Amino acid sequence: MPPPKSHILVAEDNPADVYLIREALRENDVDCEVVIVKDGAEALKYVSRFDEDQTTECPELFILDLHLPKHDGEEILTLLRKSERCAKVPVIVMSSVDSPRHRALVGQHQFVRFFEKPRDLGKFMEIGTIVKTFFPS
């Protein structure tokens, strides 16, 4: 039986950004399942399952938009870091605003990288290159 396919958890409410993330992964030959949660409540529920349900696999990577409806990314990241099973999952924090507060948040948590969502399509596609570093060939 083949090993389970790697997966990335993406918490993003903007369908266009989700599409661009998928395209960036495809262009960089990142072969994995992408699980999408569309708001902060869904993300908190998903992250809570890591310790409540031992059959829920930890993702190999979490791409987290800081500005989600219902609950913000900071709350989700805090819950993830408290997980007994999945606290060390690497996280790419995304935001359309690069503020000192966001940079400080990244500095507070291990295994976190910040990605400012650029307006330029080519620059946005760089997320695929960043993700590829977490999936060595």
CATH assignment at residue 31: 3.40.50.2300
Number of structural domains the chain divides into: 1
Residue 1 lies in a domain: no
pTM: 0.91
Residue 70 lies in a domain: yes
Residue 17 lies in a domain: yes
> Average model confidence (pLDDT) for the chain?
89
pLDDT reading at 2 higher than 70: no
Mean pLDDT within 94-104: 76
In DSSP notation, the chain reads -PPPPPEEEEE---HHHHHHHHHHHHHTT--SEEEEE-SHHHHHHHHHHHHH-TTSPPPSEEEEESS-SSS-HHHHHHHHHH-TTTTT--EEEEES---HHHHHHHHHSTTEEEEE--SSHHHHTHHHHHHHTTS--
Residue 58 lies in a domain: yes
| Band of residue 94 on the pLDDT scale cut at 50, 70, 90 | very high
Residue 137 lies in a domain: no
| Band of residue 18 on the pLDDT scale cut at 50, 70, 90 | very high
Q: What's the confidence (pLDDT) of residue 130?
A: 94
Residue 77 lies in a domain: yes
Domain that includes residue 98, residue range: 7-132
Residue 2 lies in a domain: no
Residue 11 lies in a domain: yes
